[in-house]
Amino acid sequence: MPKNDPYAALRFKEFNIFLVMRFALVFAWSMQFIVIEWQVYSITKNPLSLGIIGLMEIIPAFTMALFAGHIVDQREKRNLLALCIGAFSLISFGLFLLTWPKIVSDWSKDYILFGIYALVFCGGFLRSFFGPTIFSLIALIVPKRIYPNAATWSSSTWQMASVLGPATGGFLIHRIGVHWTLCIIFGLVLFSLAVLFSIPKKPILNPNIGEPVLKSLKEGIRFVRNTKAIIGALTLDMVAVLFGGAVALLPVFAQDILEVGSEGFGVLRAAPAVGAFLTMLTTAYLPISKNAGKKLLATIFGFGICIIVFGLSTIFWVSVVALFFSGVTDGVSMVIRQTILQLKTPDHMRGRVASVNSMFVGSSNELGAFESGVTAKLMGTVTAVVFGGSMTLLTVVTTWFASPSFRNLDLRKDVEEHEKEH
């Protein structure tokens, strides 16, 4: 096998099955999320309601994250993921019923809205398990020397699904309506569950099975806190995503500012993922482990610039280009972060470390959505987006000068050590 084989991870059959499963799951999840956004804003015409969607997901996702990581490290990963997907299918079916006129025609808008928020809340609970379980399962499918390449392909698959999910969701809302779009989503979730069972059950590598919960959680937090590369990447990304959450306000831009309807909304929603996907495919051929710290800081700075341009734009194609390049910069950030986590996390702690990651970065997406909704209500939509982008720039500049060790982070030595282990 070539030393710098860009297809190294794809040469493992189980990893390809994993990618098909992940694509179907993320495709369904991302499509469902924009359908929810569209439906809620159509009901309320209030940008704050979009922020509440984020808040409903972040509360359970954040509060359960560490406990979920402990459970993941103690359990068999394939069956745990199957249980999560099965529960997610029930949420999708519930949303399908909530948008069926035959069922909710006599319901008030408030009841329908509260029902949607309740299901989003349940989805946040499940999401606290999804991230750690998937992160841990990858490490059991490919050998350590393939981790950086596997992280790139896994992230690329996630982004491809995030490209097609929103675009397809916007198109289907226009063609067949919200209700039947949710029916398709339900079918995709069931398909991902069926594919997952093609992967055999995996061994539990944790030597501390039965370890007390508090001791286990403290160990995970202590490891992340003492690993400067991990804590630096997570903190930087958390703040940047928190203040750069313009995507949550896209229904407002699509309906009221750019006036491009549901199909334009799908294009806007997909544009960042297109940029990120293309970027991550490139990194499979051009590893970015050299000067990783500087590259991460530079790309997040570029992300902030793109968010500001998008906020100020009143021209559809300019907005699409700005969102595309926000995805390009975010894609590099994601690959670097995932590579850091895979290379520096011991097998028996992957669930807990991934949970801390979800608290920092994953939850900040929803918290960022809430922040965007609140600031849009207080400042106006455009001002809120520009404010968020400016805070992202300030975060990067502060980190550059305040943390020279992170600025000079280089991952080449870690990659070489894992290659020697083979």
CATH architecture for the domain at 9-199+211-421: Up-down Bundle (1.20)
As a whole number, mean pLDDT of residues 84-102 equals 90
* Cβ(2)–Cβ(284) below 8 Å: no
pLDDT attached to residue 18: 94
As a whole number, mean pLDDT of residues 184-212 equals 83
Q: Tokens for 362?
A: 């994953």
- Better-predicted residue by pLDDT, 247 or 27: 27
The pLDDT confidence band at residue 1, using thresholds 50, 70 and 90, is very low
pLDDT at 19 over 90: yes
As a whole number, mean pLDDT of residues 81-102 equals 91
DSSP notation for 301-325? HHHHHHHHHHHH--SHHHHHHHHHH
pLDDT attached to residue 83: 95
As a whole number, mean pLDDT of residues 218-237 equals 76
Residue 41 to residues 70, 148, 341, Cα–Cα distance (Å): 37, 40, 36
pLDDT attached to residue 88: 94
Task: Write down the domain spans for the chain.
Answer: 9-199+211-421
- pLDDT tens digits for 322-348? 999 988 888 778 777 777 777 777 767
Instruction: Describe the crossing of helices 77-98 and 109-141 by its angle, rounded to 10 degrees.
Output: 160
As a whole number, the mean pLDDT across the chain is 81
Q: What percent of the chain has pLDDT over 70?
A: 88
pLDDT at 315 over 60: yes
- pLDDT tens digits for 251-310? 888 888 888 887 788 788 778 878 877 887 777 676 666 777 888 888 889 999 999 999
pLDDT attached to residue 244: 67
As a whole number, mean pLDDT of residues 25-41 equals 88
The pLDDT confidence band at residue 3, using thresholds 50, 70 and 90, is low
pLDDT attached to residue 22: 94
The pLDDT confidence band at residue 160, using thresholds 50, 70 and 90, is confident
Compute the 3-state secondary structure of the chain and give helix, strand, coil in percent, each to the nearest 5: 85, 0, 15
Q: How far apart are CA 363 and CA 29, in angstroms?
A: 16
- Better-predicted residue by pLDDT, 402 or 118: 118
Q: Which long-range contacts (CB under 8 A, 24 or more apart) does 277-280 make?
A: 277/156, 277/159, 277/160, 277/162, 277/163, 277/327, 277/331, 278/328, 278/331, 279/327, 279/328, 279/329, 279/331, 279/332, 279/335, 280/152, 280/155, 280/156, 280/159, 280/331, 280/332, 280/334, 280/335
- pLDDT tens digits for 122-153? 998 898 888 888 888 888 888 877 777 787 78
pLDDT-wise least confident of 21-30, 44-53, 87-96, 362-371: 362-371
Q: What percent of the chain has pLDDT over 90?
A: 19
pTM across the whole model: 0.71
pLDDT attached to residue 104: 72
The pLDDT confidence band at residue 173, using thresholds 50, 70 and 90, is confident
As a whole number, mean pLDDT of residues 91-96 equals 92
pLDDT attached to residue 365: 64
Q: Tokens for 87?
A: 């529960």
Range ranked top by mean pLDDT from 8-17, 81-90, 159-168, 345-354: 81-90
pLDDT-wise least confident of 4-8, 399-403, 415-419: 415-419
- pLDDT tens digits for 349-389? 777 777 777 766 665 666 666 677 777 878 888 888 888 88
